[in-house]
Amino acid sequence: MLREPTEMLHALYYQFRVDGNEHLPTFEQALAAEPGRRAGRGFTRHTYFRQGLQYHAVARFTEQVQRYFDMFGRVRVQVVLYDDFAANTQGVYRQVLNFLSVKPTRVTEGFPVINGSQRVRLPWLRNLMSDPLVRGTAVALHAWLPARLFAALQQAESKVMQLNSRPEKRPPQEGELRRQLKKEFTPEVERLSELLGRDLSHWSVTQTSSPQALPGRMPAGVPQAGCRTCAQA
């Protein structure tokens, strides 16, 4: 699933802010820190996915999609555009099921929102629970604890993390930064349009204000697997 690069990176930054991978307080600072991070600087002990903080590299969709095409064959890769998914969730979901040769027997009208924009209530609690030492201890205990007890602890952790966050809309991108990124990603959008055979030039149009991100949706009854970085990415 691909999304307009400027919006995707903005959403990715805030997702990383929620789960602790990103510690810099503004999107602008995170983008400016990329050169230092390429040199191995600017991380914390809670950084679990350093490559994801190379924001501009993440948005190079064309070369990444081409690798999938080269490796698996184009007919075996289903590319979904987030625009289509947000506008017609049920229709796109059916298309994916058809691509997978899965009968759409569980398609419903209800697609509850998941992975919406959030804000952490207590960053120190999030940092404590995601601390590498704490995580390492939990992994070590896994071999010694009964499976039911370990599962119960995992459920308790998930509940605490859920209570430690609250829904909150992301602030809009700054106009000048948005225009700059749109211009910067225009060649990438053109290459992707050619690769997919679809006109994506509207991705390069600068709007007067940044639209609020549409939250991801999942069909009712489908298991919602945890994903730290997909977050509308």
Q: What is the pLDDT of residue 218?
A: 42
137-186 pLDDT tens trace = 777 777 777 777 767 767 777 776 666 565 667 777 888 999 999 999 99
**pTM (predicted TM-score):** 0.74
- In DSSP terms, 118 is beta-bridged to 167
Fold of 5-117+169-217: Rossmann fold (3.40.50)
For residues 140 and 71, what is the distance between their CA atoms, to the nearest angstrom? Answer: 37
| Domain map (residue ranges) of the chain | 5-117+169-217, 120-168
179-219 pLDDT tens trace = 999 999 999 999 999 999 999 999 998 754 444 444 444 44
- Where b means 16+ CB within 10 Å and e means fewer, 44-77 reads eebbbeeebbebeebbebbeebeeeeeeeeeeee
48-89 pLDDT tens trace = 899 999 999 999 999 999 999 999 999 999 999 999 998 998
